[in-house]
Amino acid sequence: MAHRYPPVSPYAAGLSGKCPRCGRGALFQSFLTLKANCEACGLDYAKADAGDGPAVFVIFIVGFLSVLLALFARFSFGLPTGAAYGIAAVFAVAATLFSLRPLKATLIALQFRHKAAESRGEDAGGGPS
């Protein structure tokens, strides 16, 4: 008989960096490196792969906010261009480091929740051959 686990919110598991199956074990070994498996429930993390998704989301979101911040600092406060760029660069680095890990964990938890897997290239039936 397989052990049953109560449903875990992928967002709660992602933001806390916990196992997407049990919500208790740590997901990460280091800053962005996944552990081999969950120490609480034994879930194998070998197939967990968020790919480039977290980095792309962070680039688009943080990049947009950094440009807005630079423009706001430059034209609202009259800061020199270099100072506005410096403020935006510090914000971009801090926001990237703050958001990349929880976003990666959330995407992995969403993959687990929806049982996402790589496509095997097989026709799902119904399409022209």
pLDDT at 16 over 80: yes
CA nearest neighbour of 71 among 85, 57, 58, 55: 85
pLDDT at 128: 58
Q: How confident is the model at residue 123 (pLDDT cuts 50, 70, 90)?
A: low
Q: Are 22 and 41 in contact (CB under 8 A)?
A: yes
Average pLDDT over residues 20-39: 94
- Predicted model pTM: 0.83
What pLDDT shows up at residue 116? 82
Angle at 10 between CA 59 and CA 62, to 5 degrees: 15
